[in-house]
Structure 1
Amino acid sequence: MSAQETTNRKNLLLLVQLRWLAVVGQVITILIVHFQMGVDIPLAQMTGIVACLLVLNLATLLRLNSDRDVTQAELFIELILDVAALTAQLYLSGGAANPFVSLYLLQITLGSTLLDTRSTWALVAFASLCFLLLMRFNQPLVLPNLEDGGFLTRYIQGAFVSFLLAAILLVLFITRISRNLRERDAHLADLRQQSAEEDHIVRMGLLASGAAHELGTPLATVSVILNDWRRMPKFKKDAELIEDIREMQAQLDRCKQIVTGILMSSGETRGEGTIRTTIRDFFDETVVDWLASRSPATFDYNNALVPDTAIVFDAALKQVVFNLFDNAFEASPNWVGLSVTRQEDKLVTIVRDAGPGFSPDMLDTLGTPYQSSKNRPGSGLGLFLVVNAVRKLGGTVVAANNPGKGASVTLTLPLTTLSPEGIA
């Protein structure tokens, strides 16, 4: 659904709500004028017009329940019908001499806010024509007590009721429109923020991809040199030195894996990096890989997936989980917890720690770059990348402080985006 169609649908619903109020106002006005002011008006005919407005509102509500787009033409027709109904009521109650003729301005105010310029001027022309016709064609009101300023008194009373009705409807209308505008501005601000974050990710991805390519050559060179050293006789004689070379080679291999992961995460060699597995196997292997280079005192792992589900993943998803583990480990080296569950068609992953928890500011700005309590250059990108990567998969990330001590980050992903059928 486009933004314009959404706006038109909201505006049409607003017209329906205002028409309910207008109907109530008309009924109350008819009763006051007829019974309290003692003015003889054609009750049956005026009640019929109110009934027509009720039918129009019910038909409009049925229209809103359909999936068809709401157009400006429909809004224009709805307002034209409202002006026509008002004209019919005025025709039956004195025409242009009726103090409620000022309600035309209320209809024009609605049109100027809800319609485009051309439609608004067309509405003005139609209302003006109706006003002119009422000056010539109408059913005069028979007012009692015309002597001693009775007519003027009745007119002022009617003008006050007209003013009160218009004021109430305008306040309700303008208040609602202002709220809609604030919601729209907030939505646009969120879209701008999301666009800025995605642009930031693109620039980071290009930088990381370029750095990974540049690192490939020196890493390969160092690997060749280390292999040569291991075969040289003078190094073979020193067992301690050979062990250091093996350790250097292992760390070098890890650097190569990191570079490969960066390239795959940025979209390069993605097909080769895509792996078909199950959720249980994915998390089992991810935990093993992460524990190979980190050593929390306790890692509490609970995989409660019954039954297991087939998925397709690449290095980006694995890196997301790694980032959650790393953040928890830095906050709580002694204990890190992981639980994996399935809720209907969603995968729910919760990473917990026993650290100091998130500050209120960090919870409010979750997902924005460089928001961190680590106070070092470049920190604060882990959760930023996690939130945006998960958002692209249609999921959500929620951070919270646990009762007592520690914090948790809940990652929710729709299984449809991870299923082999969805990837294919």
Structure 2
Amino acid sequence: MSVPTQALRRDKSLVTASLAANNGAVPNPEATNRKNLFLLIQLRWLAVAGQVLTILATQYWFEIPLPLAKMAGVVLFLVGLNIFSLLVLRGIRPITNTQLFVALIFDMAALTTQLYLSGGASNPFVSLYLLQITLGAALLTPRFTWILVAAASACFVFLIFLFQPIAIPHHGGSDLLSLHIRGMFICFVLAAGLIVIFMTRIDRNLRERDAYLADLRQRSAEEDHIVRMGLLASGAAHELGTPLATISVILSDWRQMRTLARNRELAADMAEMRAQIERCKRIVSGILMSSGQARGEGTIRTTIRGFLDDLVEEWRISRQPFKLEYTNNFDPDEQIVSDTALKQVIFNVFDNAQEASQAWVGVTAERQDDKLVIAVSDRGPGFDETILAALGQPYMSSKGRPGGGLGLFLVMNVVRKLGGDFSARNMEQGACVTLSLPLAALTDGDDHEA
């Protein structure tokens, strides 16, 4: 069994469509940047609220006069920047590391302006630069982080020499020191709380991204495994062609021999051998067609209902199950191009069900929105919990024979290549395996025939 050709050609577009459909829910690097930008937007709203409260408390509680109009202008700038950031977040263009860096630079510029208007480096809230550097270290590349450190240092030096002094109403040195310490304490609590909240959430986003990349590496290794098996299967199919043809010629010669022809038992055995050889030839041809060879014989236009009906009937004749309950509720019907490899995938699931339950196999097919859903049930012992936990991993099988577990591994990867889903669950009696295939991957026959 090999990966369907149409799935190989559509793999990249399916991945892109899947990300778009999830609206960034998949924890890939771009989605992680979106989440981090959203965290920065939330932090900026908190900064706006904190600045408003601090300005009002300083002006009216501590009775320290501030340039309210100018400081309100900075607050309005942050509000406008947040609205713009939300519009960017809703767009379809990817969020880059550079955009996160620019967002932090704007926040640093706003903080510098507020500090410039309220005492410069002597303002106890000057240590909020450390919060922005900490966020930068978590979100940005090392190059951008060091640029942010340099920018914050330059802003600090600037505020030492250039700032607008504020008139402190208290004349005693102890009162001024006490006021400064209280401001430092408020700044410390604010910075510590924000660092814990946002660093925890950023760390979760980064761990999701790392898990996604690890999953991609695992999938790449699995697909490489499939490619190697496909090459081996294709090579074996080529090699088997010659001995099968030789045996077929010898059988034809034997049938012409009068001595053998007169023996009815031998004649029946030769007929059965010839039928089995023809079956082997069809299997070899199917492998070659699925791997992209012998293309001209493999593409057959049909409908989904017809494809499933023929597939189930072919399996019923070749496997002769004791009892097969088949229900095809797919409606409305659609045109597709029959794919030999997809047929082999479904055959594999049927075979597994029959191995688990010789007495009964149930198959249902239906349409759910834009998907074909095939459920295969049996009344066997069900899946072991360890098998369900590692469903689709190669060589994970309870059959205890060499190569066990490769069937479901290949089924899962072929279904995934088509953009579908594969699941298995235990029922009260037996198990149920469900294949969910998008109709777009089955009905688009142009690529398949190209």
TM-score interval, normalised by the smaller of the two chains? over 0.9
Match of 1:155 among 175, 180, 183: 180
**Residue 418 (structure 1) aligned with residue 442 (structure 2):** yes
C-alpha separation in 1, matches of 2:173 and 2:85 = 48
- Aligned residue for 2:400, secondary structure, equals coil
C-alpha separation in 1, matches of 2:50 and 2:161 = 27
C-alpha separation in 2, matches of 1:271 and 1:23 = 67
C-alpha separation in 1, matches of 2:296 and 2:39 = 50
Deviation at 1:339, TM superposition (A): 0.8
C-alpha separation in 2, matches of 1:177 and 1:69 = 18
Deviation at 1:73, TM superposition (A): 4.0
Match of 2:432 among 394, 398, 408: 408
Deviation at 1:67, TM superposition (A): 2.5
Letter in 2 for 1:272: E
C-alpha separation in 2, matches of 1:67 and 1:422 = 27
Q: Which residue pairs with 1:49 in the alignment?
A: 74
**Residue 343 (structure 1) aligned with residue 362 (structure 2):** no
Distance 1:51 1:135, change over 3 A: same
The answer to which of 133-142 and 408-417 deviates more is 133-142
Match of 1:389 among 414, 426, 429: 414
* Equivalent residues in 2 for 1:129-278, closer than 5 Å: 129-147=154-172, 149-278=174-303
Q: Which residue pairs with 1:14 in the alignment?
A: 39
**Residue 298 (structure 1) aligned with residue 315 (structure 2):** no
- Aligned residue for 1:149, secondary structure, equals helix
C-alpha separation in 2, matches of 1:302 and 1:218 = 41
C-alpha separation in 2, matches of 1:304 and 1:294 = 23
Q: Which residue pairs with 2:123 in the alignment?
A: 98
Deviation at 1:318, TM superposition (A): 0.7
Distance 1:133 1:19, change over 3 A: same
**Residue 60 (structure 1) aligned with residue 85 (structure 2):** yes
C-alpha separation in 1, matches of 2:102 and 2:407 = 53
Number of aligned pairs? Answer: 423
Q: Normalising by structure 2, report the TM-score.
A: 0.88
- 2:36–2:205 Cα contact (<8 Å) kept: no
* Equivalent residues in 2 for 1:358-377, closer than 5 Å: 358-377=383-402
Deviation at 1:75, TM superposition (A): 2.9
- Aligned residue for 2:318, secondary structure, equals coil
Q: Which residue pairs with 2:336 in the alignment?
A: 311
- 1:347–1:412 Cα contact (<8 Å) kept: yes
Deviation at 1:344, TM superposition (A): 2.1
Distance 1:268 1:421, change over 3 A: closer
C-alpha separation in 1, matches of 2:217 and 2:158 = 51
Q: Which residue pairs with 2:358 in the alignment?
A: 333
Aligned-pair identity (%): 60
Q: Which residue pairs with 1:124 in the alignment?
A: 149
- Aligned residue for 2:423, secondary structure, equals strand
Deviation at 1:333, TM superposition (A): 0.8
Deviation at 1:8, TM superposition (A): 4.1
- Aligned residue for 1:165, secondary structure, equals helix
**Residue 85 (structure 1) aligned with residue 110 (structure 2):** yes
- Aligned residue for 2:271, secondary structure, equals helix
- 2:32–2:206 Cα contact (<8 Å) kept: no
Distance 1:195 1:166, change over 3 A: same
Superposed CA offset, 1:160-181 (max 9, x none): 1111111122222321221122
C-alpha separation in 2, matches of 1:393 and 1:382 = 17
Distance 1:75 1:306, change over 3 A: closer
Deviation at 1:422, TM superposition (A): 5.5
C-alpha separation in 2, matches of 1:338 and 1:365 = 24
- 1:301–1:339 Cα contact (<8 Å) kept: yes
Deviation at 1:18, TM superposition (A): 1.7
Superposed CA offset, 1:188-215 (max 9, x none): 1111110111111111111112222222
- Aligned residue for 2:319, secondary structure, equals coil
Q: Which residue pairs with 2:4 in the alignment?
A: none
- 2:392–2:405 Cα contact (<8 Å) kept: no
The answer to which of 198-207 and 221-230 deviates more is 221-230
Gaps of 5+ in 1: none
Letter in 2 for 1:405: Q
Letter in 1 for 2:260: F
| CA RMSD in angstroms, aligned pairs only | 2.2
C-alpha separation in 2, matches of 1:4 and 1:388 = 23
Distance 1:360 1:80, change over 3 A: same
Letter in 2 for 1:398: S
Q: Normalising by structure 1, report the TM-score.
A: 0.93
- Aligned residue for 2:366, secondary structure, equals strand
